[in-house]
Structure 1
């Protein structure tokens, strides 16, 4: 089964448990201001190779769909 890749306006969501799933591994350097608000200062993509899609939380296979990201008008 071919799984469509997420775009700038979509992301993966497990249809079984409802959790959102990431499509890449990244290293982020986060700065917290005095109020505790995080700001990502640097982001390094470690891997974006997609071999299969499996829900991290419920371990379901082939239960992932594309949904719109919040704040996008698609």
Structure 2
């Protein structure tokens, strides 16, 4: 989802708590040190599919919609 959008549950009004299931295919650059420990230094998402979105407040999956997020005022 784009950063200027958010989920809303039309059943209960929730806009902050959702379980989101996503299936993704990625390409990762793993950096291994000589001791065998690794860390991911780069990751590219090649494909991504949204599986489901569930409201954490009421458990509904059929009342979720995507809406434009409100614009935050600039910090001073």
Q: Over alpha carbons, which structure has the higher Rg? A: 2
| TM-score class normalised by the smaller sequence | 0.3 to 0.5
More strand, by proportion? 2
TM-score, normalised on structure 2?
A: 0.46
